[in-house]
Amino acid sequence: MSKPIPLNKLDDVEFITPANSACQGCAGSIVARIVAKVIGKDMVRQEVACCGPAFGNINQPAFYGEIFEGAGAMMTGFARAFKRTERDDIRVVGIVGDGGTTDIGFQGLSAAAERDEDFLWVCYDNEAYMNTGGQRSSATTKYATTTTTPLGEFSRGKKEQKKPLPLLVAMHRVPYTATASVAYPEDFIGKLSYAKPVKGFRFIQVSAPCPTGWRFDPRYSVKVAKDMVLSGLWPLYEVTEGTLKLSLKPKELKPVKDVLRSQGRFRHITDDEVDDIQGWVDENWARLLEKDGGPVF
Ligand SMILES: Cc1ncc(C[n+]2csc(CCOP(=O)(O)OP(=O)(O)O)c2C)c(N)n1
Ligand code: SF4
């Protein structure tokens, strides 16, 4: 199990260049910065077509871009090559969007997890295909408006609930799976530090609010991320060798209503639709509490 690590315990060295071309308030760029800082100089970073390359260049040994559906295969190749050449001190890390993880890259992810390949896959979850204009992904929350789920006569936004990807990955019986949030960097750093030396397949999905797609003032990215955690929309937990542990257990969850309505993508939703999401959150939370400290399945 991981332990939170305070920000001031990290070296001053930055591996991501300070200037980048991400939008103002982009939480995904915070994810890339923290990952690079924690994993350190011996990291090979893998990206696919996504906002990721806009999060800044790096000063680590290598930075590869890859076709969308190929991340799992490419990282497998790197990890095996480093092992073969006795350089398995080099950490292979993917920083991949939710579209590239939950949808287009899912077969490669699942295949690599099943083979227990030796790399860390970090998904920054902005809940849409942002680099191509904000289409829905299977990580988008129900009722969110996106460019492919607009509000209209026949549409109330996305029809389906968010795919429970971290649990699906954990079901592959990999050594480590976790959720994290940019609003809880100590928890995220602790999880990355724990995962770094572990051999085998590791996966962390990080809630990374996107002011452009979610339509809120960019100054509130971290606040929005925090509200997602405190309302149970984004529970923080980890699964280590099959055992689930909640990382944060608020005594009472914040109602989802205000959290949703603070984001333009949900501004249209009715009280019944809020209740639908609240019911889904409550059910998930009850299930997680029940499993806390025990086997995930
Ligand atoms: C197989 C394939 N389908 C579609 C695309 C077009 N495409 C490029 S970037 C992108 C969006 C990526 O979304 P996501 O992985 O969520 O990352 P984000 O852009 O949100 O950072 C898409 C659909 C592509 N490059 N390859
Ligand atoms: S669209 Fe969203 S995820 Fe992409 S760079 Fe802008 S804020 Fe970041």
Q: What is the pLDDT of residues 78-133, one digit of tens each?
A: 999 999 999 978 999 999 999 999 999 999 999 999 999 999 999 999 999 999 99
pLDDT digits (tens, 9 = 90+) for 220-245: 999 999 999 999 999 999 999 999 99
Q: Return the amino acid letter for 68.
A: F
Report CA(229)–ligand 2 centroid distance (Å).
Answer: 20
> Among 11-20, 201-210, 268-277, which stretch is predicted with the lowest mean pLDDT?
11-20
| Ligand 1 neighbourhood includes 55 CB (under 6 angstroms) | no
Residue from 67, 68, 137 whose mutation best tests the ligand 1 pocket (most atoms within 8 A of CB):
68
Contact predicate 80/32, CB 8 Å: no
Instruction: Tell how far the Cα of 257 is from the centroid of ligand 2, in angstroms.
Output: 24
- Counting DSSP H helices and E strands in the chain, the numbers are 10, 10
For 76-96, b/e burial (b = at least 16 CB within 10 A) is bebbeebeeeeeeebbbbbbb
Query: Would you report the helix, strand and coil content of the chain in percent, each value rounded to 5?
Result: 40, 20, 40
The residue whose CB lies within 8 Å of the most ligand 2 atoms, and thus the one to mutate among 33, 123, 212, 217, is 212
What residue owns the CA closest to ligand 2's atom 1? 130
Please give the torsion angle defined by the CA atoms of residues 131, 134, 137 and 140, in that order, rounded to the nearest 10 degrees: 120
Q: What six digits make up the tokens of 214?
A: 């979610």
Which residue stretches of 179-270 are H helix?
A: 185-195, 211-214, 221-230, 256-261
The DSSP output letter for 173 is T
Residue 93's φ and ψ, nearest 5 degrees, are -135, 130
What would be the CATH architecture of the domain defined by 7-291?
Answer: 3-Layer(aba) Sandwich (3.40)
Distance 173 CA to ligand 1 centre (A): 28
Question: Can you tell me the distance from the alpha carbon of 22 to that of 2, in angstroms, rounded to the nearest whole number?
Answer: 30
Domain ranges of the chain: 7-291
* Closest ligand (CA of 123): 1
- The number of the ligand nearest the C-alpha atom of 26 reads 2
Q: What is the pLDDT of residue 44?
A: 84
| Core vs surface per residue 238-269: b (16+ CB within 10 A) or e | bbbeeebbbbeeeeebbebbebbebbebbeeb
Which residues, listed in sequence order, are joined to residue 156 by a DSSP beta bridge?
Answer: 151
Q: Considering the chain, what percentage of its residues have pLDDT values greater than 70?
A: 98
Give pTM, 2 decimals: 0.97
Q: Is 50 in the pocket of ligand 2 (CB under 6 A)?
A: no
Which ligand is the nearest neighbour of the Cα of 140? 1
126 touches ligand 2 (CB under 6 Å): yes
Please state, for a pLDDT cut of 90, what percent of the chain lies above it.
Answer: 85
Would the CB of 135 count as within 6 Å of ligand 2? no
Joined together, the tokens standing for residue 118 give: 């030796």
Torsion of CA 84, 87, 88, 90, to 10 degrees: -140
State yes or no: pLDDT of 57 exceeds 80: no
Whose CA is closest to 196, among 43, 60, 48, 26? 43
Helices 27-39, 221-230: crossing angle, 10 deg rounding: 80
Nearest CA to ligand 2 atom 5: 22
Residue nearest to atom 22 of ligand 1 (CA): 132
Q: Could you read off the pLDDT of 117-176 as tens digits, one per residue?
A: 999 999 999 999 999 999 999 999 999 999 999 999 999 999 999 999 999 999 999 999
